[in-house]
């Protein structure tokens, strides 16, 4: 299994600012993902973080709003840019080391005022 | 369109009262079905992966089963510490190399002493 940590665990931000969330995995993983979970809702995939290349975004999410980096096999960042109150959510990092089993970090709770 | 539906949305049980959670799915071809447990303020914790109809997995008081259209998570003699939201996710055969997980909204389980 993989142990995933995220920083920060929570933050309160002002409208129009940006926040970068860091994700660290304790072992090399083949794939890393970023999800959003809004209260009472399911997990929604934002993008797949690809090592050394541009992330692959899901419908409804764009690179200008959610730039993602993945410089190596154990680390990734997600930036939430030009934030609005609608961006208030839990952001989850996830990693997959085997063919299917996928593990999640503890999440970053973001409140935008 | 690939879809995952979980029922009930919420379930209240008395300690020791066994029950089952349902996850029905619509997918062109199933690569795998996953069960996660999520405690308040935490990321999803991996429980089981099921790959084919008829397969069963057990862990302590939990037992997951799979048919061609749905999965059940049976909870035998639950304890208050089993209280959590249980998430079901599927991975489609045609999900490409990324094999994205499609999540249901979850079942919130409360076990009263």
Domain boundaries, chain A: 4-112
Question: Strand pairing partners for A103?
Answer: A95
pLDDT digits (tens, 9 = 90+) for A34-87: 999 998 788 999 999 988 888 999 999 999 999 999 999 999 999 999 999 999
Interface check for B96 against chain A (CB to CB < 8 A): the answer is no
Q: CA A105, A108, B1 angle in degrees (round to 5)?
A: 70
Q: Average pLDDT of B18-34? A: 93
CATH number (2.60.40.10, 3.20.20.210, 2.60.40.1180, 1.10.10.10) of B3-112 reads 2.60.40.10
pLDDT above 90 coverage of chain B, percent: 80
At B80 the pLDDT is 97
Q: In which region does residue B41 sit, left (phi positive, over 0), alpha (psi from -120 to 50) or beta (all else)?
A: left
Fold of A4-112: Immunoglobulin-like (2.60.40)
d(CA B98, CA B7): 28
| A41, A58, A101 member nearest B49 (Cβ) | A101
At B62 the pLDDT is 98
d(CA B64, CA A98): 21
Q: Average pLDDT of B35-58? A: 94
Pick the residue from chain A with its C-alpha nearest to B43.
A106
Pick from B71, B86, B97, B69: which is nearest to B13 by CA?
B86
At B43 the pLDDT is 93
């Amino acid at each position: 299994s993989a142990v995933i940590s995220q920083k920060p665990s929570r933050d309160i931000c002002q409208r129009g600012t940006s926040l970068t969330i860091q994700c660290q995995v304790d072992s090399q993983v083949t794939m890393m993902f970023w999800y959003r979970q809004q209260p009472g809702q399911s997990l929604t995939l934002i993008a797949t973080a690809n090592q050394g290349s541009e992330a692959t975004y899901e419908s409804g999410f764009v690179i200008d709003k959610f730039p993602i980096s993945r410089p190596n096999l154990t680390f990734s960042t997600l930036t939430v840019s030009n934030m609005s109150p609608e961006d208030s959510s839990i952001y989850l990092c996830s990693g997959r080391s085997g063919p299917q089993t996928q593990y999640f970090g503890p999440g970053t709770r973001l409140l935008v005022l | 369109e690939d879809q995952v539906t979980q029922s009930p949305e919420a379930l209240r049980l008395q300690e020791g009262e066994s029950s089952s959670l349902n996850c029905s799915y619509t997918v062109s071809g199933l690569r795998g079905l996953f069960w996660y447990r999520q405690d308040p303020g935490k990321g999803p914790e991996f429980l089981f992966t099921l790959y084919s109809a008829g397969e069963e997995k057990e862990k302590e008081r939990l037992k997951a089963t799979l048919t061609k259209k749905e999965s059940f998570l049976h909870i035998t003699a639950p304890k208050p510490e089993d209280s959590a939201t249980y998430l079901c996710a599927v991975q489609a055969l045609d999900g490409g190399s990324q094999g994205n997980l499609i999540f249901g909204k979850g079942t919130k389980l409360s076990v009263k002493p």
